[in-house]
Structure 1
Amino acid sequence: MDIFQSIEEHPGIVRTVELHTSGEPIRIIISGFPKLQGNTLLENRRYASENHEVDRVRKWLMLEPRRHQGMYGAILVKETELTRSGEADIEVLFCHNEGYSTMCGHATIALGRFLVDTQDVEIFPRRALLQLHKNNVDGEIITVLRLHTPCGVVTVTVPTTPQNKSDGSKPVRFRYVPCFVASPLEQGITIEVPMQMAWPKLIQRGNQQQIQVRVDISYGGAFYALVSSEELGFTSLQSSDAELFKELADAARILRILLLNQDPQIRKSLVHPEEPDIGFLYGITILDSSITPNLHLKKNLITWICFFADEQIDRSPTGSCVSAHIPLALDQNQLEMGQWCSYQSFLSTQFPGNEFRGRAIERNTKGYVIELEGFAHYTGTASFVPPQEKIDTMGSGFVLKLPSNM
């Protein structure tokens, strides 16, 4: 046991709680992360991103050898402007292989469980202020938590046992900040793909000098570009073929490059009306046309694959993209207010009970208020020591990627 004790006594130790939501991991950092500076949560996020000593901790926690390219993290922040004003119970910053995001649905579901389960005031100073309630609809016991994220306050409802612990057999539910369609509704955005950048399946779709691809941009706590697989030349995502996923990853990477380097209309679609720090393209989501042709929701089921950050693939159905898609479906008359829709990732389709469900419950001048639910499960806890960089040259973090086909 001496090695465990020596690690626990290390002055630079970082402690985490580990969960997954529909297969997507979440590493909740509960202690040891460097102190952040700033009066607001967005200032904290900016500081973490720009300060080398802070960001190096993110890198060695997210990347190999301590994890991998697909890791996701949540950094608990005990106090910022909205906890001081009484509008939130706790704050969080989200992080991944590339940096810091503005919202994350799968992490919010996991955080809901953990923040109800912990009684440690060093981790969650306002835990004792949370109260048990009875759901007016079915009498279910719940705990309501106000989580301050970089995109705003998210209200999280956690089914709770009489012992004041989260009930993992029932889904965590939360309500987003206002979500909206950012690109022109009727025509979306047309991307011109030069032949020298086109992937094989897109070339098979047409032989012009330039091939046009239509995407929609929508906001669900982060900005996403949504496009059907058929539009990109893929008939279906229903395959375990590794080559298909390499081709999809190449297509998403090229789309991202073209989206960020084309006309001002695209840049205009990525402007948040209130917070400049949020105005960037976070992910590319490809919808399975074989299940939902032309985004039509006959079966109230959407299946997709989401690429975000530095070509990271979301194992889960991507909660913030669910909240980005629902306004688009509503505005295109494919979904009704209050109507639930189920969402699956390319992976969760293989494991029953791992879909997300979402619906719009309100519309106001800022957009739609989306409600989403899903399940999270504990996988363990961990203690990490920082790398001795002069000795361990790989310990600071690295990414292993498959070579691109393009």
Structure 2
Amino acid sequence: MPFSFDGLASTSISCVEMHTSGEPTRIILSGFPELTGTLMEQRALAKANFDQYRRFLMLEPRGHRDMYGAILRPETELVKSGEADFGVLFMHNDGFSTMCGHATIAIGRFLVDCDDEQIFPRRKMLKYDTGTETTSIKLHVPCGVVDVDVPTLPIGKSDPCRPISFIAVPSFVTGISVMVHLPEENRWPELGVRDSITADFCYGGAYYCVINATELGFPQGLSEDYIQRLSHATALLKKTVNETSELSYLTRHIQTAEQGILYSVLIVDDTKLDNDPSSSEKGLCFFANQQIDRSPTGGSVAARISLAYAKGNLSIGEQRKFDSLFTGSDKGLRGFVGSAIEELKNEGEADGSRKSVCVRVKVQGYANYMGYSTFVAEAADGLGVNGFLL
């Protein structure tokens, strides 16, 4: 390194920079304070005592409103018991999320390539399948354990030419064609005279509202030209769902009854839907504090596959392609592929009247390296480590 920060910086954090279909993952290698306990206890500790490190890395001037990050956790209770190989915490512009598909794909590739035992002590214990030429990783994330398969070359490194896949936690529907009444203060101009919308709700490690662009009030479909208007509408919709007690069942886990919150609104461009099985479903995901996912959103793929299966529009083993507003052959970015691989019987009810099932969903996508970075904060820097959000 031609320049040293020794003696200048009070804080120094090193990261690997990756992207999955254009969506960044900033993976912290060193510099984050020590976290102990179970994975959820580590998450709570990070939120309560070290949130300034999230702001330091995710917000400006080192990040931006749509930056995404991962804190590597080599020791968790499930790693110790042998149920997982590695753990991870996810973070974004507003806090720490329970699941992230695009980051899972990136981290899977990184862990296969990592030969530093201080970062990944159990790297040599990973299982390699000679038939599929893939390495398997059980990744402990806040919502459970996801099984990641990473294509691997004979030299032991990941193969960037083949897609990485993960099997999500059990995914399910909590409501189909739910009518959401919008109080006057939560309506947006594109609604016109309407005071309600109809949408679907599902879970893929986090809770998603899936709504068509035309139903949201945008008959022309999705466009980068009016992203701010789309953001305004989805923010008000999410606010309504999270603040309406009668709708709390939409974010309640059908297996554990644990209460969650609506994490994201996924707009499907129904003006682009067709019956060609080779075509992709295009969508735009707003999550956290109106953060925009450049990728098709891995968690939402799991949720949308469960939705399509519950509606009878998808069979076990059948694949469906997903693009975001920013991916596609014309953009040079490949989207995701999802499929339901197994139905799990469940006694819960999705919407108070209809029996629901969980499915295990396989999500496939590509992740690429962008670089290596070391971020510092000088003691004399008035901005400190807090960052800011524009």
- In the superposition, the TM-score normalised over structure 2's length comes to 0.91
Question: Who is 2:286 aligned against?
Answer: 307
Match status 1:156 vs 2:138: no
Alignment of 1:11-160 (within 5 A): 12-38=11-37, 40-51=38-49, 54-135=50-131, 140-160=132-152
- Spell out, residue by residue over 1:59-90, the C-alpha distance to the aligned partner (whole angstroms, 9 max, x if none): 11110000101000010011111011011110
Cα separation, partners in 2 of 1:277 and 1:44, compared to 1, 3 Å = farther
Matched, 1:182 2:181: no
2:235 counterpart residue number: 253
**Structure 1, gaps ≥5 residues long:** 401-406
Equivalences, count:
378
Q: Distance in 1 between matches of 2:209 and 2:309?
A: 17
1:371 counterpart SS class: strand
In 2: Cα distance, 1:322 partner to 1:148 partner: 19
Percentage of matched positions with identical amino acids = 42
1:10 shift after superposition: 5.3
Q: Which amino acid aligns with 2:168?
A: Y
Counterpart CA distance in 1 for 2:383 and 2:279 is 50
Quote the Cα distance in structure 2 between the aligned partners of 1:6 and 1:236.
55
Residues in 2 aligned to 1:109 and 1:122: alpha-carbon distance in whole angstroms: 22
* Partner in structure 2 of residue 336 of structure 1: 315
User: C-alpha separation between the residues in 1 aligned to 2:137 and 2:123?
Assistant: 9
The answer to whether the 8 A contact 1:387-1:396 is kept is no
Q: Which is worse superposed, 18-27 or 365-374?
A: 365-374
**Aligned partners of 2:53 and 2:385 also within 8 Å:** no
Change in Cα spacing, 1:10 to 1:78, as seen in structure 2 (3 Å) is: farther
What residue identity is the alignment partner of 1:57? Y
Shift of 1:278: 7.0
In structure 2, what is the Cα distance between the partners aligned to 1:43 and 1:258? Answer: 30
Q: 2:388 aligns to what? A: 398
| 2:377–2:384 contact (8 Å) kept in structure 1 | no
Q: Which amino acid aligns with 1:84?
A: K
* Conserved? CA contact 2:171–2:359, under 8 Å: yes
- 1:319 equivalent to 2:298? Answer yes
- Give the conservation status (yes or no) of the 8 Å contact 1:316–1:348: yes
Matched letter for residue 229 of structure 2:
E
Deviations 1:199-220 (A, max 9, x none): 22211xxx25xx2101211000
* Partner residue of 1:363 out of 313, 329, 343: 343
In the superposition, the TM-score normalised over structure 1's length comes to 0.88
Distance 1:41 1:59 in 2: 20
Counterpart Cα distance in 2 of 1:385 and 1:122: 22
Task: Tell me whether 1:172 sits opposite 2:164 in the alignment.
Answer: yes
State the alpha-carbon separation in 1 of the partners of residues 339 and 137 from structure 2.
20
Unaligned runs of 5+ in 2: 347-357
How many angstroms does 1:240 deviate by?
Answer: 3.6
- Superposed CA RMSD: 2.1
Secondary structure of the equivalent of 1:385?
strand
